[in-house]
Chains A and B, each alone.
Chain A
Amino acid sequence: MANETIVVTDVDLASPALPVAHEPERAPTRRAAFERRWLGGINLAYLVLGAALLLFPLVSPGSYAISLVTQILVFSIFTMSLDLLLGYVGLPSFGHAAFLGLGAYAAAILSAKMGISNLGIAFLAGAAVASVGAVILGVLALRTSGVYFLMLTLAFAQIVSAGAQSWTPVTGGTNGLPGVKAPDLFVPGWRVPDGVPFYLLTVGVASVCFVVLFRIVHSPFGQALVGIRQNEMRMRSLGYNVALYRLAAFWIAGMLASVGGVMYAFFNHFISPTDVGFTLSGSAVLMVLVGGSGTLIGPVLGTSVYLLIQNLLSSYTDRWQLVLGALFVLFVLFVRGGVIGLWAQSRTWGGRKRGAA
């Protein structure tokens, strides 16, 4: 049997390692692009958006528009948190509305039943309840994957909704809980009334949530989540405790959703079980997908599109639910990657998008 001796030489570090089959187009260095941004990643576009939101009341056509944009922002907090699960970790959670519901009911019960309308306390209470829910659901559902996971989370959302429906003395039952007052900031008496003041408060809260999520997603932790979504087994063999990462992401997403829920309760001054069931969970997934999952701004766009359509449609026709359903169907069949996907394709980035649906 032939036995050629293999000559061992020093590996040449400078030259390319192996014959390259082809020379692919070089995409701009992602790292350099980030380093050009300000404030740790927030670039000019986002600042412009923030400024536009702040100045919007000056140009808005009326209180209805302000209310609509407030609603969009409140739900954007919710859908951004869902995108963390859907687009970054890769968990198809259909039960996210449960966490919004837990936050909303916490705030509503504190305000309507106990007279405590302090925003900070409401956030803390909502986050506490959502944390408990997230850990319970996480421990049960994260051992499963794919379809089982989806169904478990869906069942969870419906059960939270059903719980709200039956625990009438505390939650007001099927009729819901009216009488949520305006929130107080810091000192009782610093009430934030409806309209422009509440709108500005919402812009502030939504911006903070966006920045927090942005930082998380671009942190080493966030990078690990993306790695887990792409190749869970490899991450394990690299030493990452995948289960713990997933649970942490689930918990963070749940808490942020409850922030959205608290804002929703103060916005609507009313919360009912139908607000927080399976329909909202499904619509939220849709909003994320329409905008483009795996990109934090995508869900914001998706939420805007969805709520605009819903509001416009319901003022024209009683059959808005049917039209909306038909739009979902058409959208899924013909549009891939969401709005962000369309935009990115038009700039011929091709396959460089990370994490899109």
Chain B
Amino acid sequence: MSLDFLIVQGLNGVAYGLLIFLLAAGLSLVFGMLHVVNLVHGSFFMLGGYLGYSIYRASHNFLLAALLAPIVVGVLGIAIEKLLLKRLYVRPLLDQVVLTFGLSFIAADVVRGIWGANELVLPPPDAFSGIAQIFGNPYPIYRLFVIALGVLIALALWVIDRRTRLGSVIRAGVADREMAVGLGVDIGKLFTGVFAFGAALAAFGGVIAAPIVSLHLGLDGETLITGLIVVVVGGLGTLTGAFWGGLLIGVAVTFLTAVVPQLALILTFLVMGAILLVRPNGLFGQKTI
């Protein structure tokens, strides 16, 4: 295992981990605050990617795609939360699961109907499409861009979380919903906002992931599973958990896939199991549900 190999795979892992973080952040917040098991989150990621593809095909403008697709998916998220999900907050866990599962069926079929079953490729924007040299290793600039962007977004979210009133309101909502209501927080708007933001963030992740991961049917399920693993490992309701969990799982999966592809996912599961044995609420989670 040479140093070159470590560098390349390490960077790949970090890039992948940050993409998963974009998905896991929304997933974790929605779990932690709304106590909803959101099985349609992977669909948001996929929809974002496919929408981004179409917008790019129409406009040849990657930036437009990266901004417009999340907005569309965010609006969709608002609609889903207000019209459907809101009714199920008082119902048992499984009802929400079934609802979001049904929605993921619909989304998967819509994607299949509009974009077909073939793999689609979204090329990286021209500005970032070259190859750089990292310690003598050729490495796609786009992935470096993804890493930088991911870190930037993580920082921005951290600032919002820790330094703004919105962040503390969100953390209050996660920690104790009733108290937050008692303190005058409009919990309905907060929930809609968090859900929609999570959806938009996932969609954004889908767009910028598209040049790295090809767009194909089943992307929703695959990403959802990895996202769930990250959330379980990192802890429910915590952005810090989603970030470090994402990096941990991203790097682990990337290295394992490169070294023992047959066993990669199984070993990841065992890693997750091992972490849960020591910390049943994830690395950063608190005992909630």
Tell me the interface secondary structure of chain B in the complex: helix
The residues in B between 53 and 110 inclusive whose CB is less than 8 angstroms from any CB of A are 84, 87-88, 92-95, 97-99, 101-110
User: Contacting A144 at CB < 8 Å: which of B224, B262, B269, B280?
Assistant: B280
Bound CA span A289–B88, Å = 15
* CB of B289 closer than 8 Å to a CB of A: yes
Mark out the residues of chain A between 247 and 292 whose CB falls within 8 Å of any chain B CB in the assembled complex.
277-279, 282, 285-286, 289
User: Could you tell me if A92 and B269 are in contact, using CB atoms closer than 8 angstroms?
Assistant: no
Instruction: Give the contacts of A308-346 with B (CB-CB under 8 A).
Output: 318-319, 321-322, 324-329, 331-333
Q: Chain A residues with Cβ under 8 A from B273's Cβ?
A: 140, 152
Q: Is B221 within 8 A of A158, CB to CB? A: yes
Contact partners of A321 in chain B: CB under 8 A: 105-106, 108-109, 112
* With contact pairs A325-B102, A325-B106, A332-B99 given, residues A146 and B231 touching in the complex (Cβ less than 8 Å): no
Contacts A152-B232, A328-B101, A329-B99 given; indicate if A322 touches B94 (C-beta within 8 A).
Answer: no
Residue B181 at the chain A interface, CB threshold 8 Å:
no
- Give Cα A150–Cα B225 distance, bound, in whole angstroms: 12
Q: Report the interface size class on chain A.
A: 35 or more
Q: Select A332's contact among B95, B106, B110, beta carbons within 8 Å.
A: B95
Contact across chains for B225 and A147 when beta carbons are under 8 A apart: no
B273 to chain A, nearest CB (A): 4
Known: A140-B273, A146-B289, A147-B35. A159 touches B265 (CB 8 A): yes
User: Could you tell me the distance in whole angstroms from the C-beta of A294 to the nearest C-beta in chain B?
Assistant: 12
Interface code A27-68, partner B: CB below 8 Å = 1, 0 otherwise?
000000000000000000000000000000000000000000
A185 within 8 A of B: no
Question: Could you tell me the distance between the alpha carbons of A321 and B217 in the complex, rounded to whole angstroms?
Answer: 13
**What's the count of A-B pairs with C-beta under 8 Å?**
139
In angstroms, how far is the closest chain B Cβ from the Cβ of A299?
Answer: 14
A294 to B229, CA, bound (A): 29
What's the minimum C-beta distance from A307 to chain B, rounded to whole angstroms? 15
Contact (Cβ within 8 A) B228 A326:
no
| Pair B106/A322 contact, Cβ less than 8 Å | yes
Is A166 an interface residue when CB atoms closer than 8 A count as contact?
yes
Q: Bits for A67-92, please: 1 = Cβ < 8 Å to B, else 0.
A: 00000000000000000001000001
Q: Is B277 a contact partner of A92 (Cβ separation < 8 A)?
A: no
Q: Are B236 and A282 in contact (CB under 8 A)?
A: no
Contact with B along A107-118 (1 / 0, CB 8 A): 000000000000
The answer to whether B262 and A319 touch across the interface, beta carbons within 8 angstroms, is no
- Chain B residue at smallest Cβ distance from A154: B228
Q: Which 8 A-B pairs have the closest CB atoms?
A: A328-B102, A325-B105, A325-B106, A322-B109, A321-B109, A140-B273, A329-B102, A162-B265
16 contacts between A and B (CB under 8 A): A92-B94, A154-B225, A155-B228, A155-B232, A155-B272, A158-B225, A278-B224, A285-B101, A321-B108, A322-B110, A325-B105, A325-B109, A326-B102, A328-B101, A332-B99, A333-B84
